[in-house]
Every structure is written in C-alpha cells, then in structure tokens.
Amino acid sequence: MAAHRKIVRRASVTGNAELPGDFPPLLARIYLQRGIRHVQELDCSLADLIPADQLSGVDIAAVLLADAVRYDQRILVIGDFDADGATSTALALRALRSLGAGDVHYLVPNRFEYGYGLTPEIVAVAAELKPDVLITVDNGISSIEGVAAARGMGVKVVVTDHHLPAAHLPDADVIINPNQPDDPFPSKNLAGVGVIFYVMLGLRKQLREQNWFMDKGIEEPNLADLLDLVALGTVADVVPLDHNNRILVEQGLRRIRANKCIPAIRALLKIAKRNPAQVVASDIGFVVGPRLNAAGRLQDMSLGIECLLTNDDTRAMELAQQLDALNRERRNIEGQMQSEALMSVNNYINSKKDERLPHGLCLYDPGWHQGVIGILASRLKERFHRPVIAFADAGAGELKGSARSIQGLHIRDALDLVATRHPGLISKFGGHAMAAGLSLPQMNFDAFSEALENVLSGLLTNELLEGALYSDGQLDANDLNLETAELIRYAGPWGQSFPEPLFDGDFDVLERHIVGGHHLKMRLRPAGSRQIIDAIAFNTTDTDWPEGTERITIAYRLSVNEFRGHRNAQLLVENLSLLNS
C-alpha cells in the first residue's frame, strides 16, 4: 500500500445526464463523477469506434502497403521491447498475413544492445534482411537519423507511433500518429497497438477496393479478431481510457471471455490462475502485461512476440512458462533494487535538518538492472508521491533513466524544459505525460538532478506534492456484498483516466493478522452496522498500531475474491489511518 494520502471525495454531480431511469443508482453516481453525461458514452459496440479515415496518414499508408502486398514486397516490422510494442508487432504480422502478404518479418531491438526505436544501428541489422518496406510500431516518431538511414538505402518507411513528437519529425514516407500537429483524430490516447490496428483497417479497405480478396480467392479477414491484442497492449501501456479506447479494450475483453483469443493470452491467464471467462482489464494489466514485459526487461522481447504469434496451444504454454519464470526473476531483482533505493532515500532524509524530500527523486546505482528501473520508479512514485527517475548504467559512460510522474506534472515537458535550459545535459529523451525515458552521460548525473529539481520546484505546488486519493464517497453497508462487487467489476473497463471506483469510510476492526509475510488481512464491520466483510491491505503490517486500536478509516475498492472455487466480496484497502476508540 502507498504512503498515507489525503482522501478527497469527488463532488456530487446531478442534472444534465441522460441515463435511463432504471439505471443502477450506484453506477449512475460513479459514471457522473467520471464525466459521463449520456448513455451512448457507455456504449462499447464497434459501431461507435472512430473511423480509420479520420486518422491522418492512414489512407497514404494503405496505398503504400497495398502495393507491397500486391507485388509481394518484403515487409519488415520494427517493434519495441514493451508489452505495447510486442502486441503491436504481433498484430501487424497477424493482420498482414491474413490480408495476403506473403513476405512479412519482424525485428525488435534488444534494449541492452540497441536501445529504443529505429536507430541507425538497428537499420543496419534490418538491411541484412533486404526489406522493401519498414513499418515501425510503437516507435519511430523521434527516429530522425534511423529513418534517414533506411530511406537512404531505398527502403520505404511507414512510421506508426503514439508518443509525443518533438519539434522536428522524421522524413518518413508517411507518419501515422494521432499526436502529430494538426491531426484531427478525436482521440489522442491510442496506444501503439491501437495505431497499427487502425492502419490495418485502412489497408483492408484499400485492398477491398482493389478487389484483391476476390481476385486472389482470399477470404476477407475480420480484423476485430485481433482486438484481444489491442486490449492487452492498450491496458498494459496505461494510456487513458477515453471512450474510443474503452471500446477497443471492452471488445477485446469480450473475445477473451468467449475463449476467442490467441493461445498466448489463454496460457498466460492460466499460469496466473485467472479464469478467462471472468477476465477484466485489471487482470490484463496486473498479471498478463507484466509477464509479457518480463521478456523485454530481462532478455529479448522476441520471446514474448513468438508467444503472441503462435497458434499452437502447447507451444504457447511452453513460451508462457518461460515468460512466467522471467517475471519471477524480475520480481526478485526489483525487490533488491527497491531495498537499496529506499535506503538511499532514507539516508537523504536523515541528512537534511528539515527531513523534507525534494520535489523529485533522481536515483542511480551502478548495480541496478537497466530493464527494471521503470518498475522501480513506479514503486517509488507510489510510495513517496513524487516524480521519480531511476537510472542504470548503460555502458560507455552513459546512463539510461526511466521516469514516472504524478498527476499534475507532465514529465516529458519537464525534461524538455531541462534540455532547453541546459543544452547538452541530456543526450536524448521522449515519452508521455506520466512516463518517459532518457539518456545522459554519467558525469552529468549530479548536474541533471539539480537542474531537474529547479524545474520541478517551479512546476509542483504543495497541493500536488501532497497528493490525494479521490473517493466516490461512502458505500452503504448493505452494498458490501458480492452482487455489488460483480456489478462494479464489469461496469468498466476501468483504467487510466477512467478509474475503478474507490470508496471510503470508518470500520471497526474485528480481527487482524499478517499473511504472506507483509500483507494485513482483516475482518471489518462498517461503523454503526452489523455487516461484516473481509479486507486486505497489501504491503502493510500492524506492528506500529497502538494498543487498543479498534477503529480505522480506510479508502478501499470493493472487489471479488476467488479462493478454491468460492467467490466473495472483499475490500482492497488503498489507504488506512487509525482511530483510537
């Protein structure tokens, strides 16, 4: 559980909402507090998906790729080493092959050898495969030199990406990115896998108009069959779940629940002991995504991509087991790194008379694993509610950093300010509002830390640094049951910018004990009620509770706990404070 945070109840919203009169009052309240004003905003049917022709560049890319398919040109997909990049790569290959492309390959950079994106070095490796067309997925918008190198060899380049562009764009044959300047696409929140899905929709339309399927005797594919991959990449990349992304995710989840997903997703869910028929977005985000990401963090994402590409259940399970083993190794490495980081932060606090943390945390240890620093930064951000950049040694006197931000601070823009004020301090950087990556010379670490702190001190207010948990209010004791928990569970998909409901209230503590070494299991009763419910606070102990503690105030999520075939309601405690009776 994160450090104690202030609980702020969301403002009650009434009026101007067009929801059916028989709509469950609890859900109506929750949706209104998330800006939903019309029932159509809750419709996750594909009919409401934004059309592909509204995304700039899709039509140009469709013509270029249709020629490549028709004339059997060699297409090479350049992926990325995270879950979004892996699902994007797998989707591109599955789609292209189903559309009739006969010469399709992929190449994903190893983060430890080549780093991120279409670099000149990875272009040199790609050249050995003699491609006619390169398609970048989940990368490329900052690959100015790499694109130039590829085009200099006579290779056509299609860049598909969703990361924020810099002032100068690569000179590709076509760029598809909803975040390009002046792009009219209404949703700027597509993940990389969402972007390439839209490109494949455009390509299918172009081939259909050219009578390709009829002429070749190929059955036109239903690209909606690929939405399980879109859902996985979108949730794993933690992009905001606006209406369009909720459609993509929900449609993918429905296919998984109906057992119409690829073998890899079935295998990964089975290893994680999740029932595919009951899967929701959080299962994808917390159990499937990390196992897939483990390949890119510790080894080579080709392992994850091969798992996503196979249609053989036995092979998928073999590869999923390897991914699971890597994920266990990743957790062990992360635990050690987190202990070292916490010691470093505590030493910093103890060295200061006022014991106050800086506005942001910049941490580096020469022994830290380059593939795990992103998770480390996320964990520390949650614990201290500060933007965090964790660095690892990248060799040749260079450090690689992974940044995670808090609400209210656009971390990529903050890095841009540092780079503008101190030219040459950062070698390169890129990313989103909440996450970014960067490189810098090791000798610049102290100067960068100081420069970043100066920037953050001007951007972060005390209110932002204090942080808050936004609660949907108190939940009636009569609603603390399995029926309500199920109602909430499937009312999403919940995720970034469309958060799963959080409630707060006072509870009497009837029982408490530690499970798993560091998780607090409790039996609670809402104050003034007879209702009793189980609760668990992860990574929390009661060793410092005063004697006689009988009542607590908590912020919690009402969840479904399944154990040995039995399902019951359980509170997942996210914030806890003590009230002595």
Strand 133-137 and strand 156-160: the pairing is parallel
| Cα end-to-end distance, the chain, whole Å | 24
* pLDDT, mean over the chain: 93
Supply 165's token pair: 């562009």
Query: Cα(322)–Cα(15) distance, rounded to whole angstroms?
Result: 53
Query: Cα(116)–Cα(431) distance, rounded to whole angstroms?
Result: 11
The DSSP line for 479-527 is G-SHHHHHHHHTS---BTTBPPP-EEEEEEEEEEEEETTTEEEEEEEET
Class of domain 46-324: alpha beta
Supply 501's token pair: 């409901």
Specify the pLDDT at position 3: 56
Q: Residue 366, preceding bond cis, omega within 30 degrees?
A: no
Specify the pLDDT at position 546: 78
- Tell me the three-class secondary structure of 303-331, residue by residue: HHHHHHHCCCHHHHHHHHHHHHHHHHHHH
Ranges of residues in the chain whose predicted pLDDT is under 50: 581
Query: Cα(388)–Cα(363) distance, rounded to whole angstroms?
Result: 8
Query: Cα(268)–Cα(250) distance, rounded to whole angstroms?
Result: 19
Residue 461 has a CB neighbour count (10 Å cut-off) of: 9
Residue 518 — φ and ψ, nearest 5°?
Answer: -150, 30
| 430 touches 164 (CB < 8 A) | yes
Task: Write the pLDDT tens digit of every residue in 15-73.
Answer: 556 777 778 999 999 999 999 988 899 999 999 999 999 999 999 999 999 999 999 99
Residue 45 has a CB neighbour count (10 Å cut-off) of: 10
Specify the pLDDT at position 581: 46
Query: Cα(125)–Cα(365) distance, rounded to whole angstroms?
Result: 31
Residue 293 — φ and ψ, nearest 5°?
Answer: -65, -25
The full set of domain ranges for the chain reads: 6-42+469-580, 46-324, 340-466
Say if 46-324 and 340-466 have the same CATH topology.
Answer: no
Specify the pLDDT at position 170: 97
Would you state the torsion angle of the CA atoms of residues 350, 354, 357, 363, taken in this order, to the nearest 10 degrees? -40
Specify the pLDDT at position 158: 98
Task: Tell me how far CA of residue 267 lies from CA of 31, 288, 318, 347, in angstroms.
Answer: 34, 9, 9, 44
Residue 55 — φ and ψ, nearest 5°?
Answer: -95, 115
| 91 touches 230 (CB < 8 A) | yes
Residue 285 has a CB neighbour count (10 Å cut-off) of: 21
pTM: 0.91
Longest dimension (CA), the chain: 80
Specify the pLDDT at position 2: 53
Pick the CATH number of 6-42+469-580 from 2.40.50.460, 3.40.50.12500, 3.30.530.20, 3.30.930.10: 2.40.50.460
Specify the pLDDT at position 467: 79
Specify the pLDDT at position 549: 74
Query: Cα(304)–Cα(298) distance, rounded to whole angstroms?
Result: 12
Helix (H) or strand (E) holding 61: helix 58-70
| 197 touches 226 (CB < 8 A) | yes
Query: Cα(45)–Cα(389) distance, rounded to whole angstroms?
Result: 39
Q: Where in 378-518 does DSSP place strands (E)?
A: 388-395, 398-404, 428-431, 435-441, 468-471, 503-515
Task: Write the pLDDT tens digit of every residue in 232-259.
Answer: 999 999 999 999 999 999 999 999 999 9
Specify the pLDDT at position 205: 98
Strand 133-137 and strand 75-78: the pairing is parallel
Q: What is the CATH number of domain 340-466?
A: 3.10.310.30
